Amino acid sequence: MASEQVSSAQSGAIYLPIESLDECAYCHETAQNAKLRLCTSCAEVLYCSRGCQKADWKSHKVNCVVPLKRISNEHPALSHRIINSPNPNSGDIFSFPNGESAKLVVLQGSVPMTSLRSAEWWPTAASAAIRDKLLRRILYERPVLQINLAACIALVSQMYTTTSSGSTPKKRRIRLSYNGSPISDFGIIHGSMAICPEDRLTYYNTDTQTFRMGQSSNNHYWIYFTTLSGKERWLDCNAYNFNFCSMVDAENCSKGSEISGHPGLDSVPAFFFASGSIEGLPMPTIGQRLWNPRKRFSILRDPRLKDLVLTSAHIDHCEFHDLSSVYDIMSDISGHECSDLTKQIMKKILPEVLQHIHFNMQTRDYLNFPKEPRTFFEINPGEDTYSCIDDEELKIYYKKLARKLKKGKITPDQYQQAVSSFLRDRY
C-alpha cells in the first residue's frame, strides 16, 4: 500500500508511513505472488521488481524525500528555517578563532520536511533555483573519508579478488585501466582545497546558540589512480558542498541496483583530472592548483587488506571484512584515532558501497558506461563563483574576540556567548 496523504487544517499535509507489506505500488502485484522490496530512499512504497520501480520513478520521485529525513536527524539545516540571506555574492562570512572562515547560514525554528525547496524553509533565497542549489550542497555534505575509503575497499574486494586460475576457468578477471594502460595502484590522498570562504558553509542555530562547521576544505580526501605507464589521475566526488559543482551525466551509466532497489541518478558530482592541473576548467584561474595533497595512502597494495575476500553474493553485513584493519587504515589516513561515531558511519557505508559495486560486476553493467560521459558545471544565474564576501563589521568583531580568547582574557564559553549575543542582536 502506497503512502497516504492526509489533510490537516492545523499542520498541512501529513504523509503517513507505509502501513503494510501488501502490494507493488506500480503493478499492484501482491506479496503472496512476488517478493516486494521497499524503496530504500524513502521506505514508503513497495515494488516487486526493478522494472516497476523505474517505470514508477517519474511520479514517485516528487514525494521520494526521505533521504532528507534521514539526514535531517544529523543536519540541523534540513529541519530548521534559514533566516539570513546566504545567497551567491552576498551574505556574512564568519571567522573562527582557528583562522578558518565560511559563509554563515543562520537557523531558527523547526520546519517540516515538506517545506524543503520552498520559501517556508528559506524565505530570502534570490530564486527557487538558488534555494534548490543550496539544499543540494547541504545534502552533499558527507563523511568524505569514509566514502572514499569504502569505494577503494569495494574496488579491491570486487575486482581484485578474481583470478583466471585453473580452479575457476570461467570466472572473468576484471581490472581497472585508463586509456589502455592498466591501473597499477590506487588509493586516497589527504590534503586540502583552496576554497574561498564564501564557498564553505557554517551553521549557527539561534535556538540552541550553537555552531556546526560544514565540510572541511582543510581536511579533504580524494582518490588517485596510477597507471602502469606512470600517469596519475585524481577523482574528487566530494567538492559539491564547496560550490565546486562539477557533475557527470549518469543517466546512461547504470541501470540501478536490484539489490538496493535504487533506480539510479540522473547526474552525480565528480571531477576527474590529471594531478597538478585542471586545464579546461571554466574559471578565471585556469591552471591554478585547487587541490593541495599532503600525503597519499595506497589501498590496493595495503597488506592489511590482503585477506579481503568476497564470500557472499549478497553483502548484508560487514562480517566479510576485518573491520579492525579498516579502522586502522582510517586512523592512518586521518592522522588520529577514529572516534566511535566515525567507526559507526564506516560500518554503515561500507556494505552499501559493496552492494553497488558487486551488483555492477555481477551484471557487467560497467559495459554500458559511455567512453566519455557528458560533464557540466552547475552554476547559479548571475553567480560569481570566485568572489569572496567580506563584512567588515563581522570581521573586526570576530578578530577582537579571537585575540581575547588567544590571550586567555575570555574562556571558550565566553567566546561562544559573545558571538551568540552578537548574532542574536543582528538577526
From CA 167, how far away is CA 186, in angstroms rounded?
28
Partners of 139 in the beta sheet? none
A 10 A CB-CB count for 275 gives 16
A 10 A CB-CB count for 320 gives 17
CB 374 within 8 A of CB 249: yes
Q: 264: which residues sit within 8 A by CB, 6+ positions away? A: 250, 251, 253, 254, 255, 256, 257
Strands 181-193, 101-110: pairing kind:
unpaired
Partners of 115 in the beta sheet? none
User: What is the CA 239 to chain-centroid distance, rounded?
Assistant: 9
Phi, psi of 149 (to 5 degrees): -65, -40
From CA 53, how far away is CA 35, in angstroms rounded?
13
Q: Mean pLDDT lowest for which of 219-228, 388-397, 418-427?
A: 388-397
108: buried, middle or exposed (CB in 10 Å: 19+, 13-18, 0-12)?
A: middle
Residue 216 to residues 102, 197, 332, Cα–Cα distance (Å): 10, 11, 18
What's the whole-number average pLDDT of the chain?
A: 76
Q: pLDDT tens digits, residue range 96-140?
A: 877 788 999 999 999 988 888 899 999 999 999 899 999 999 999
Percent of the chain with pLDDT over 70: 71
Residue 75, pLDDT > 60, answer: yes
Amino acid at the residue 8:
S
From CA 103, how far away is CA 203, in angstroms rounded?
8
Q: Is the dihedral of CA 113, 119, 120, 124 positive or negative?
A: positive
Residue 47 to residues 17, 31, 256, 353, 422, Cα–Cα distance (Å): 15, 10, 14, 22, 52
Strands 210-213, 201-205: pairing kind:
antiparallel
CB 397 within 8 A of CB 97: no
3-state secondary structure of 93: strand
Amino acid at the residue 261:
G
Q: Enter the DSSP assignment of 30.
A: B
User: Which pLDDT band holds residue 28 (cuts at 50, 70, 90)?
Assistant: confident
Closest CA to 203 of 287, 118, 297, 81: 81
Q: Which triple of cell numbers denotes residue 225?
A: 589512480
Partners of 322 in the beta sheet? none
Residue 15, pLDDT > 50, answer: no
Residue 265, pLDDT > 60, answer: yes
Q: 195: which residues sit within 8 A by CB, 6+ positions away? A: 217, 242, 244, 290
Question: What DSSP element (H or E) covers 180?
Answer: none
A 10 A CB-CB count for 244 gives 21
From CA 343, how far away is CA 325, in angstroms rounded?
12
User: Which pLDDT band holds residue 356 (cuts at 50, 70, 90)?
Assistant: confident
Query: What average pLDDT does this structure show over 13-25?
Result: 60
Q: pLDDT tens digits, residue range 152-210?
A: 998 888 787 755 444 444 556 778 888 888 999 999 999 999 888 889 999 999 988 88
